[in-house]
């Protein structure tokens, strides 16, 4: 059961990542790059919330929507912090351990590691908090 949930999480997360990437491209034609990034991230977060609630953590669809939204935002804020910290530390480590490694390659490897650890953090946060089985009734939501 948990194994198939992880697979569904990876599919949903990959879909949200694709939405982020693909929507940023046309948004960049009409918005500054930073604004396009934020708008695309917001769209992908909305898509990932729906995908996680409907496709990954199905039993949680009976829980409080309002409470889940706030927890979803909090979990994603922690996940973003995890990606930033892990990527930064990994980049520093790679540049010390492999000084001849080209910076773009080191950045790509560090970022990939950060995304992987962030995905685990997001999965655990959403599984244990946002979409926990036996979700809180609306009267106890945030």
pLDDT of 59 reads 62
**Range list of H helices, 1-142:** 2-30, 33-51, 65-97, 103-125
Residues 50 and 98 in one domain: no
Give 139's pLDDT tier (boundaries 50, 70, 90).
very low
Which domain does 44 fall in, by range?
A: 1-56
Residues 30 and 100 in one domain: no
Domain boundary among 16, 31, 56: 56
Residues 47 and 86 in one domain: no
Establish how many alpha carbons lie within 13 A of residue 97's alpha carbon, considering only the half-sphere containing its beta carbon. 8
Residues 32 and 73 in one domain: no
* Total tally of structural domains belonging to the chain: 2
pLDDT of 62 reads 61
pLDDT of 138 reads 41
Residue 111 has pLDDT above 80, yes or no: no
| Range 128-133 average pLDDT | 76
pLDDT of 99 reads 93
Residues 129 and 74 in one domain: yes
Reported pTM = 0.63
Residues 119 and 105 in one domain: yes
Give 61's pLDDT tier (boundaries 50, 70, 90).
low
Residues 50 and 68 in one domain: no
Residues 75 and 132 in one domain: yes
Distances (CA, A) of 116 to 32, 66, 77, 87, 132: 28, 28, 16, 10, 22
Residues 49 and 76 in one domain: no
What's the mean per-residue pLDDT of the chain?
Answer: 79
């Amino acid at each position: 059961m948990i194994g198939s949930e992880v697979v569904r999480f990876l599919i949903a997360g990959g879909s949200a990542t694709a939405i982020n990437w693909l929507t940023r491209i046309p948004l960049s034609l009409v918005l500054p790059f930073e604004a396009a990034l934020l708008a695309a991230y917001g769209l992908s977060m909305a898509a990932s919330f729906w995908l996680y609630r409907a496709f990954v953590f199905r039993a949680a669809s009976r829980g409080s929507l309002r409470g889940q939204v706030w927890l979803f935002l909090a979990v994603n804020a922690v996940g973003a912090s995890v990606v930033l910290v892990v990527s930064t530390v990994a980049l520093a480590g790679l540049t010390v351990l492999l000084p001849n490694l080209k910076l773009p390659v080191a950045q790509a490897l560090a970022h990939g590691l950060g995304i992987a650890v962030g995905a685990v953090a997001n999965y655990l946060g959403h599984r244990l908090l946002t979409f926990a089985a036996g979700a809180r009734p609306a009267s106890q939501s945030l």
